[in-house]
Amino acid sequence: MSWFYAFDLFGVAVFAITGALMAGRKSMDLFGVLVIAIITALGGGTLRDAILGNHPVSWIRNDVYILVASLAAVGTVLWVRLTRPINETGLLVADAFGLAVFTVIGTQVALNYGVPVSAAVIMGVMTGVAGGVMRDIICNEIPLIFHKEIYATACIIGSFTYIGLQALPLHEDVITAICIALVLAIRLAAIRWHLALPRFHLLDRNRSDQ
């Protein structure tokens, strides 16, 4: 099994865990947990493949993806029941792992299709964040990408770094590991120290005049 495939399955498992945890916070039944976990794990890659014309999408060609996502979701339910609930920090850390892995994989896939750098970065970011956005919207939450610490910015930096390192005489596995670690480090640092981009606050002129 190649490192690329192994990393892909790892990302699926981790994102499925975040989906299962979110479903648990919303007190969903097991079916709901599975649905949210699968959408979270496979949503970004599905959207990427649809845009790039990579048909059929990965989880239709290979049912291992559905199996891994389902097992990760069920395993999460059992773990939480047998031990204790995972807190908000646990959810964010798990999400950071999935974000890092999927960002690099999305960029890799896009470059294999010969798209421009800008499109490759967009595909990397989309692969990393789209599943989580779908998860949060379905669960009636404001997506992490829109209101939490640095999120998509970490994906953009990781994607550009991956593309830039292609010009160096480094093994592909080394480049992949470096970029995954970079995205993960940025995201975890943002969580730890609450790093965020400046926010845009639109003042109500009528209220300010009163």
pTM: 0.89
Cβ proximity of 20 and 76 under 8 Å:
yes
Q: What is the largest CA-CA distance in the chain?
A: 67
pLDDT (tens digit per residue) in 85-125: 766 777 778 888 889 999 999 999 999 999 999 999 999 99
What are the residue ranges in the chain where pLDDT is below 50?
A: none
pLDDT for the residue numbered 205? 58
Return the pLDDT at 57. Answer: 92
pLDDT at position 149, please? 74
pLDDT of residue 199: 76
